[in-house]
Amino acid sequence: MAIARLHGGPLDGQVIPLDDADQDRLILPYSETQVVYEREGAPENTGEGDGPTSTDFHYLEAQDDIDPDPDGRDE
């Protein structure tokens, strides 16, 4: 099993499972849109016995504008 560590954007700090550790981009659902994260660097922990393979992905863009407060209220 491989994992993606997400940096930046609305999913910052999330860790998600990966089917393929060699992916260059992740397109993930977020609210009513999609966000794109791009791989940065090589996979880590690729040997046996050193934990799951992990890859860093950094926020690239969102399909639509992300409005954390769609009702327009500031709290």
In a domain, 55, yes or no: yes
Residues contacting residue 54 through CB under 8 Å, at least 6 positions apart: 2, 3, 4, 5, 15, 43, 44, 45
In a domain, 75, yes or no: no
Per-residue pLDDT tens digits for 1-14: 799 999 999 999 99
In a domain, 71, yes or no: no
Q: Which domain holds residue 41?
A: 2-62
In a domain, 46, yes or no: yes
Q: What is the pTM of this model?
A: 0.79
Measured CA to CA, the distance from residue 30 to residue 44 in angstroms comes to 26
Q: Model confidence at 69, in pLDDT bands (50, 70, 90)?
A: low
In a domain, 37, yes or no: yes
In a domain, 73, yes or no: no
Per-residue pLDDT tens digits for 15-62: 999 988 788 999 999 988 999 999 999 888 888 888 888 999 999 999
Q: How many domains does the chain have?
A: 1
Structure-block tokens of residue 73: 């209220």
